[in-house]
């Protein structure tokens, strides 16, 4: 395996600007190769790793070209966020290229322009993996903020506010240095990676007879210069099971594909597209679990909307003020400590 010695260069915190056309070409080429290569490598000599904040624990990094290629194939809004040029008035869903790749036929599940979640689509048995790939679209009011939106997925308290089956969500192994991830992604090719780590999810038993499930995922957050964001995750493989917390192993659920794309459509509005292919594991029929997933994610948007639209004095507003002050402090430090 590669070790931390593989990562010695410096990556700036902000994503690289002035390279939109080049990044678009790179994104298009990666789309063409989607679903043709594995995300992770079982052979140790082929793996790329980076140290976590826990001494002695390495994180296998995915094939980012393959992973973001897959996300762009299924999520036009994520493709728009990554390629750029689609934010602001007239942007978001209105600027998306809705052309689906050959053989990828979306089925309409719900359409209602008057609702917060105004469109839901699915592809049954996507990639012959069994469960459907589902896609939710919502147009939100409030400031677009990827890190805070991700909290509704990655923070246990916020997750439980809309998903009553969640027992715990825990970031086990955050990456030690985000520069390693940004280098591996190609210096801004997929935006600025602001968060990356291995997470563990534990669910409660469901009233309809579904026993508790567990998941082990690699998740991250990408930020873009125009305020867009892509929140992503992929299930880790069986050879990563040593990263599981101690205790009795439960039936494994698997997120074959997960992303949330956020693109600002104004100073206080943004479009959001949630894509998910979730396998509950065991022998549960997908016609039984699909409606549970559909309603659960719709509920998430309903809980998140008041948070983002709370306005002045709200939790998001206070967080943004604090963030601005921290950015100013970092700028002063950069001036003070530059030789």
pLDDT of residue 324: 82
pLDDT band of residue 91 (cuts 50, 70, 90) is: very high
pLDDT of residue 95: 97
Q: What is the mean pLDDT of the chain?
A: 88
Q: Between residues 269 and 27, which one has the greater pLDDT?
A: 269
Compute the average pLDDT of residues 109-114: 96
pLDDT band of residue 36 (cuts 50, 70, 90) is: confident
Which of 9-18, 25-34, 98-107, 188-197 comes out lowest in average pLDDT? Answer: 9-18
pLDDT in tens, 119-172: 999 999 999 999 999 999 999 999 999 999 999 999 999 999 999 999 999 999
Q: Between residues 102 and 87, which one has the greater pLDDT?
A: 87
What's the chain look like in SS3?
A: CCCHHHCCCCCCCCCCCCCHHHHHHHHHHHHHCCCCCCCCCCCHHHCEEEEECCCCCEEEECCHHHHHHHHHHHCHHHHHHHHCCCCCCCCHHHHCCCCCCCCCCCEEEEECCCCCEEEEEEECCHHHCCCCEEEEEEEEECCCCHHHHHHHHHCHHHHHCCCCCEEEEEEEEEECCHHHHHHHHCCEECEEEEEEEEEEEEECCCCCCCCCEEEEEEEEEEECCCCCEEEEEEECCHHHHHHCCCCCCCEECEEEEEEEEEEEEECCEEEEEEEEEEECCCCCCHHHHHHHHHHHHHHHHHHHHHHHCCCCCCHHHHHHHHHHHHHHHHHHHHHHCCC
pLDDT of residue 337: 53
The answer, yes or no, to whether residue 12 has pLDDT greater than 70, is no
pLDDT in tens, 224-237: 999 999 999 999 99
């Amino acid at each position: 395996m590669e070790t931390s010695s593989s990562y010695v260069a410096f990556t700036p915190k902000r994503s690289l600007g002035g390279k939109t056309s080049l990044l678009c070409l790179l994104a298009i080429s990666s789309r063409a190769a989607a679903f043709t290569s594995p995300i992770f490598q079982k052979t140790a000599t082929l793996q790329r790793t980076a140290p976590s904040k826990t001494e002695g624990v390495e994180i296998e990094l995915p094939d980012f070209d393959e992973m973001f290629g897959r996300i762009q194939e299924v999520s036009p809004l994520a493709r728009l966020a990554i390629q750029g040029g689609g934010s602001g008035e007239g942007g978001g869903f209105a600027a998306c290229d809705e052309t689906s790749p050959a053989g990828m036929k979306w089925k309409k599940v719900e359409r209602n322009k008057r609702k917060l979640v105004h469109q839901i689509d699915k592809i049954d048995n996507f990639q012959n993996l069994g469960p459907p790939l589902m896609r939710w679209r919502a147009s939100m009011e409030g400031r677009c903020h990827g890190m805070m939106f991700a909290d509704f997925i990655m923070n246990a308290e916020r997750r439980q506010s809309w998903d009553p089956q969640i027992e715990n969500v825990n970031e086990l192994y955050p990456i030690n240095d985000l520069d390693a991830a940004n280098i591996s992604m190609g210096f801004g090719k997929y935006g600025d990676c602001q968060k990356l780590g291995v997470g563990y999810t534990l669910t409660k038993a469901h009233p309809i007879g579904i026993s508790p499930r567990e998941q082990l995922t690699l998740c991250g957050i990408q930020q873009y210069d125009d305020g867009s964001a892509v929140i992503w995750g992929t299930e880790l493989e069986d050879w990563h099971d040593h990263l599981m917390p101690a205790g009795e192993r439960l039936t494994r659920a698997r997120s074959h594909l997960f992303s949330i794309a956020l693109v600002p459509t104004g100073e206080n509005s943004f479009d959001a597209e949630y894509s998910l292919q979730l396998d509950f594991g065991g022998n549960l029929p997908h016609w039984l679990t699909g409606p549970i997933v559909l309603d659960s994610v719709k509920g998430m948007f309903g809980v998140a909307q008041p948070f983002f639209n709370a306005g002045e004095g709200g939790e998001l507003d206070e967080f943004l003020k604090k963030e601005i002050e921290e950015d100013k402090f970092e700028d002063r430090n950069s001036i003070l400590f530059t030789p």
